[in-house]
Amino acid sequence: RRQVYLAERHLPFETRDRVSVRVMMNAGLLMDMGHLEDAGAMGVGLYRTELPFMTRPSLPDVATQTLLYQKIREQAGGKPVVFRTLDVGGDKLLPYWTNDGEDNPAMGWRSIRITLDRPAVLRAQIRALLRASAGQDLRLMFPMIATVQEFRQARRLLDVEVERERARGGLLPRQVRVGTMLEVPSLLYQFPELLPEVDFVSVGSNDLLQFLFATDRGNPRVSGRYDPLSVPVLRLLRDVRWLCEAAGKPVTVCGEMAGRPIEAMALIGLGYRSLSMAAQGVGPVKQMLRSMDTREVTAYVTALAESDDPNPRRGLRAFARD
């Protein structure tokens, strides 16, 4: 199968009825970037920046980070890369920041909460991203945003850093696009205030579903209990897509579900035209989407979202087989 995917990597990401889907890759290590070419992804829709922080004995300084982000950009060879700012805590612990004593680390001091409490860390990272993107387009997004105020606070730090670089005569990026991840359900109910202020939205379905169903994504006893292909999730994702479109803001799904063919098919049926996934998902998803007809899938999935089907996956599988 790998040979087949490799042979098909230059074919367009297009459905049978000629609808283009933007298929991107998730990455977190410099060596992941090599897959961009062989998987044939259109760019990196989620670059998880925390791994280099986790493998060092102390925080990497601005110069180290700048070099690293430059290398990532070079490896991307002009394809877009969406950098996500530091998302540690929860299950991603830094050796030099102990985070013990939390009963619920997934809901504890993690991600943007840490970097807003330690703004120097976020500012240093943003500074490095700005420098590594001098004269080019920079796309960055903030993880685990739960309130519009958190987004504004993070964005303000970006503005401060842009001004600082300008004042010292540094070459700035040509354009900076700033997005939010949607991982905490509360954010959905702040979309009217939030959407006008963001350039794009990226749905982190791993955390979003963990919080939606109140199930620990790392606990096998419960993590398989609720299916991402269930009616409440289909409705939620349908509404998210619709609200983003109404506000004119691009939306991508970058959680693991985007890289599974049946899930990806359902997402396309719900109107998503941009997905970002682990490199090994790109080939199978491409094969699926090149064999599907958007109109048929949309009609089927839209009806499913309106139904009270206890097991939409069964129907979607049969539909895909047909």
Residues that bind ligand PEP (CB under 6 A): 46, 48, 87, 183, 204-207, 254-255
Q: Which is nearer to ligand PEP, 237 or 292 (CB)?
A: 237
Q: In this structure, are residues 44 and 81 in contact, taking their beta carbons and an 8 Å threshold?
A: yes
Q: Hunting for tokens 């991203």 — which residue is that?
A: 129
User: What x-and-dash track marks residues 175-194 binding Mg ion by CB under 5 A?
Assistant: --------x-----------
Q: What are phi and psi of 142, to 5 degrees?
A: -105, 135
Q: Which is nearer to ligand PEP, 32 or 183 (CB)?
A: 183
Binding status of residue 90 toward Mg ion by CB under 5 A? no
Contacting Mg ion (CB under 5 A), which of 89, 204, 228, 281?
Answer: 204
Contact partner at residue 48 from Mg ion, ligand PEP, none, CB < 5 to 8 Å by partner kind:
ligand PEP
DSSP 61-79: -HHHHHHHHHHHHHHHTTS
Minimum Å distance from CB 300 to Mg ion? 29
Minimum Å distance from CB 27 to Mg ion? 15
Tell me the CB-side half-sphere exposure of residue 236, using CA atoms within 13 A: 23
The structure tokens listed for 234 are 């289909």
Q: Which is nearer to ligand PEP, 165 or 183 (CB)?
A: 183
Residues in binding contact with Mg ion, number by CB under 5 A: 3
Q: What are phi and psi of 150, to 5 degrees?
A: -65, -40
Q: In this structure, are residues 173 and 136 in contact, taking their beta carbons and an 8 Å threshold?
A: yes
* Residues facing 202 on adjacent strands: 181, 252
The structure tokens listed for 212 are 């939606």
Minimum Å distance from CB 210 to Mg ion? 8
> How far is it, in rounded angstroms, from Cα 306 to Cα 198?
30
* Residues facing 94 on adjacent strands: 97
Binding status of residue 207 toward Mg ion by CB under 5 A? yes
Q: Which is nearer to ligand PEP, 23 or 254 (CB)?
A: 254
Minimum Å distance from CB 81 to ligand PEP? 15
Contact partner at residue 132 from ligand PEP, Mg ion, none, CB < 5 to 8 Å by partner kind:
none
Minimum Å distance from CB 206 to Mg ion? 5
Minimum Å distance from CB 178 to ligand PEP? 17
Contact partner at residue 205 from ligand PEP, Mg ion, none, CB < 5 to 8 Å by partner kind:
ligand PEP
CA distances from 27 to 48, 51, 91 (A): 6, 10, 18
Q: Which is nearer to Mg ion, 40 or 204 (CB)?
A: 204
Contact partner at residue 254 from Mg ion, ligand PEP, none, CB < 5 to 8 Å by partner kind:
ligand PEP
> How far is it, in rounded angstroms, from Cα 75 to Cα 60?
20
Q: Which is nearer to ligand PEP, 85 or 205 (CB)?
A: 205
Contact partner at residue 161 from ligand PEP, Mg ion, none, CB < 5 to 8 Å by partner kind:
none
For residue 194, which of 255, 268, 142 has the smallest C-alpha distance? 142
The structure tokens listed for 119 are 């703004």
Q: Which is nearer to ligand PEP, 162 or 209 (CB)?
A: 209
Minimum Å distance from CB 218 to Mg ion? 12
- Residue 201's Cα: distance from chain center in Å? 8
> How far is it, in rounded angstroms, from Cα 149 to Cα 159?
15
Q: What is the binding site for Mg ion (CB under 5 A)?
A: 183, 204, 207
